[in-house]
Amino acid sequence: MAYDDLREWMAALERAGELKKIRTEVDPILEITEITDRVSKSRSNKAGELGGAALLFQNIKGYPGAQVVINQFGSARRMNLALGVNALDEVAERIRGLMDLKSPQGFLDKVKMLPRLAEMGKFFPKTVATGPCKEVIRRDKFSLLYFPVLQCWPKDAGRFITLPCVVTRDRKSGKRNVGMYRMQVYDEKTAGMHWQRQKIGAEHYREALRSAAASGNAAGPSAAVDLMARTSGGSRGSDGDMPGGKMEVAVAIGTDPAITFSAIVPAPPDIEEYLIAGFLRQKPVELVKCETLDLEVPASAEIVLEGHVHLDELRTEGPFGDHTGFYSLEDQYPVFHVSCITHRKDPIYATTIVGKPPMEDGWMGKAVERIFLPLMKLAIPELADINLPLEGIFHNLMIVSIKKSYPGQARKVMNAIWSLGQAMFTKCIVVVDEDVNVQDLGEVTLKALNHIDPERDIQFTLGPVDSLDHASRLPDYGSKMGIDATRKWSSEGFSRPWPDQIVMDAKTKALVDKKWRELGLE
């Protein structure tokens, strides 16, 4: 089932017994976080699974009439509901079907392909004249403080918008990007734009800097190069001699679940997130033009912020309690200046919190893992399965099973993973044989630790690391570790016999199965 907007999705959550309405007064400063953190680590939802319920706070201190929805994706069941499937593998199967498209060899093949191409055409976004996000238009007398933005953790630098769909456009190709980058609210009309240097939004910013430098809107090309080198998580320095100009940015808050999820997926740069959202919801996303920008935003969004990032301005952003379970430290980031706000009547403010897992973002990460496995297999055909454990916070640990067919293949797979988009940040990769269930951490621990000779089977390499990695030797640069926990072959220099795994014979197992009830051991 596809949801047209956040409200339809919330109604579905309520019908499923997955939404808890809270009418007791709560404070957006710290208190909502503490409540949500306890719920996200509980088993209090209808299905009794980890993640608790989605929460709708309806009595916000200092914000009469406002509502805050949080933890909407905070369980495996709710991620399935959000994407309208019984299991995430259904989405993966649809992706596999698309990848099976081959170049037509003749007229008959072309005819057979037409229905598939027509189906894909249904997912492209379409622009409409207006939408609910324009029920209220504020070109003046607006404020970011009008919304109940949370301060999540005690040492956070302030209030942060944590579930924004940030829309930018590539100056060369014209393609839009929708990314999710936290935004520290500085005052009524400005916020930090935390796009880390490896993100597409940051690349659009750097392209704007290059364009400004090339047009002479700067002290010189070296100024832009220096700014690009230290912007978005780089080292601090003087803010002088930077290119002038602005970059258009729109921010949608409170979108339907497919759009929100699409903003976090590691999509190839040439594929717009609006198209991915259309594919996930099986119908196109409706967009409207911004009031003051040449950008399009989801027509059904609860809130839209329109504005610009100034190319001649960086400001201290952070600290912020992050999904690593630690505070990410303050650094210099671009500043977003709001020029217009549009919103629905009585908008619902959608947000999330991150911190020590398990939390809502962990389940979104697990959905990315399952849905995009077919795309990983396209690049690495020997992959059998992968597991990104919640405690590995996406980029610290990946467990991979492979169909091993030649010596050294595990190391080849490690290097292939480190070459794939956001997977390049993976700090530790453990490679096991295909008969190991990577979703069973007990089995992985038993077999991997039995299979390795540490000096022989562990390799280290240097390269880019996640900006939030506080242990790396330098910002954005450090080491990674790969562990070859596959069975070792003689062709890999292992001359000793490899022992058999302990398994009871089938005849005895069947005999005991027949006697089990009689034994009275249930």
Q: How far apart are CA 333 and CA 289, in angstroms?
A: 27
Return the axis-axis angle of helices 360-371 and 89-99, rounded to nearest 10°.
Answer: 30
Q: How far apart are CA 167 and CA 297, in angstroms?
A: 7
Q: Count the neighbouring beta carbons within 10 Å of the beta carbon of residue 518.
A: 7
Please report, for residues 19, 70, 168, the alpha-carbon distance to residue 359 in angstroms, rounded to integers and kept in the order given: 16, 11, 28
Strand partners, 21: 56
Please report, for residues 40, 75, 391, 481, the alpha-carbon distance to residue 396 in angstroms, rounded to integers and kept in the order given: 21, 21, 8, 10
Q: How far apart are CA 453 and CA 258, in angstroms?
A: 45
Please report, for residues 119, 146, 196, 355, 508, the alpha-carbon distance to residue 361 in angstroms, rounded to integers and kept in the order given: 31, 26, 18, 9, 46
Q: Contact 176/167 with Cβ under 8 angstroms?
A: yes
Q: Which of 323, 458, 469, 444 is nearest to 387 (CA)?
A: 444
Please report, for residues 18, 399, 439, the alpha-carbon distance to residue 48 in angstroms, rounded to integers and kept in the order given: 11, 27, 20
Catalytic residue (one of 5, 37, 156, 322): 322
Strand partners, 253: 164, 303
HSE (side-chain half, CA atoms, 13 Å) at 332: 15
What is the C-alpha R_g of the chain?
A: 25
- DSSP structure class, residue 131: -
Alpha helices in 28-173 (DSSP H): 31-40, 76-82, 89-99, 107-121
Q: How far apart are CA 500 and CA 249, in angstroms?
A: 60
Alpha helices in 48-123 (DSSP H): 76-82, 89-99, 107-121
φ/ψ of residue 324, rounded to 5: -75, -15
Q: How far apart are CA 450 and CA 453, in angstroms?
A: 8
**Is-catalytic flag, 322?**
yes
Strand partners, 482: 429, 459
The 10 Å CB-count burial string (b at 16+, else e) for 391-425 is: ebbbbbbbbbbbebeeeebbbebbebbbeeeebbb
Looking at the annotation, which residues are catalytic?
322
